[in-house]
């Protein structure tokens, strides 16, 4: 089981290519890791199928795990099911998103899917969505009326939506 723990340690250092403060583990993207005689199979849930960084992510995961002593072969598979949801992000992941200036996705949604987040800088709830379409389809640009900073928010993704 040591090898498994080494692999999980390494995954804790593999970052989302677009958000380099948060590991794939803390984003809740790792659905399963199976290791038999040094042959490693990693099942990954893409956070958003539309995001372009999957090839980079696959390479990052493969090369990181390949470096673990005792690993012979690594295969990364992206799963379409189960769907990744923003509830999978760990508490540590949510904190690290804030360090990157991204408000973590809200845990609950209001009526009609309305959602709001607190400013990652000053924690004010007095924020407004400036532009629903951020730099990637996964993120939105918001504006904090309290500290006057623009910031990004991760859209809430839930299987219920």
Please pick, from the candidates 3, 33, 76, 122, the single residue that binds Zn ion as defined by CB under 5 A: 122
Q: How far apart are the first and last CA of the chain?
A: 38
Please pick, from the candidates 77, 124, 132, 161, the single residue that binds Zn ion as defined by CB under 5 A: 124
Stretch near Zn ion under the rule CB under 5 A, chosen from 13-21, 39-47, 63-71, 118-126? 118-126
Residues 156, 161: Cα–Cα separation, whole Å: 9
Q: Is residue 117 at the binding interface for Zn ion, with CB under 5 A as the rule?
A: no
Closest CA to 89 of 151, 35, 138: 138
Q: Between residues 41 and 116, which has the closer beta carbon with respect to Zn ion? A: 116
Q: Is residue 51 at the binding interface for Zn ion, with CB under 5 A as the rule?
A: no
Q: Between residues 144 and 153, which has the closer beta carbon with respect to Zn ion? A: 144
Q: Is residue 150 at the binding interface for Zn ion, with CB under 5 A as the rule?
A: no
Q: Between residues 78 and 143, which has the closer beta carbon with respect to Zn ion? A: 143
Q: Is residue 89 at the binding interface for Zn ion, with CB under 5 A as the rule?
A: no
Hey, CA dihedral for 147, 128, 136, 59, is it positive or negative?
Answer: positive
Q: Is residue 119 at the binding interface for Zn ion, with CB under 5 A as the rule?
A: yes
Q: Is residue 147 at the binding interface for Zn ion, with CB under 5 A as the rule?
A: yes
Residues 84, 81: Cα–Cα separation, whole Å: 8
3-state secondary structure of 24: coil
Residue 139: alpha-carbon gap to chain centroid: 11
Q: Is residue 144 at the binding interface for Zn ion, with CB under 5 A as the rule?
A: yes
Total interface residues for Zn ion by CB under 5 A: 7
Binding site for Zn ion (CB under 5 A): 119, 121-122, 124, 144, 146-147
């Amino acid at each position: 089981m040591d090898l498994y723990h080494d692999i999980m340690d390494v995954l804790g250092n593999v970052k989302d290519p677009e958000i380099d403060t948060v590991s794939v583990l803390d984003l809740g993207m790792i659905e399963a890791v199976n290791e038999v005689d040094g042959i490693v199979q990693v099942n990954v849930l893409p956070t958003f199928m539309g995001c372009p960084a999957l090839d980079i992510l696959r390479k990052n995961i493969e090369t990181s795990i390949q470096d673990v002593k005792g690993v012979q072969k690594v295969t990364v598979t992206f799963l379409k099911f189960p769907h990744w949801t923003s509830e999978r992000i760990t508490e540590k992941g949510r904190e690290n998103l804030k360090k990157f200036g991204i408000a973590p996705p809200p845990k609950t949604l209001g009526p009609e899917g309305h959602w709001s987040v607190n400013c990652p800088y000053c924690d004010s709830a007095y924020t407004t969505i400036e532009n629903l379409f951020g730099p990637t389809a996964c993120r939105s640009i918001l504006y904090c009326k309290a500290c006057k900073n623009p910031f990004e928010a991760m859209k809430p993704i839930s299987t219920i939506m």
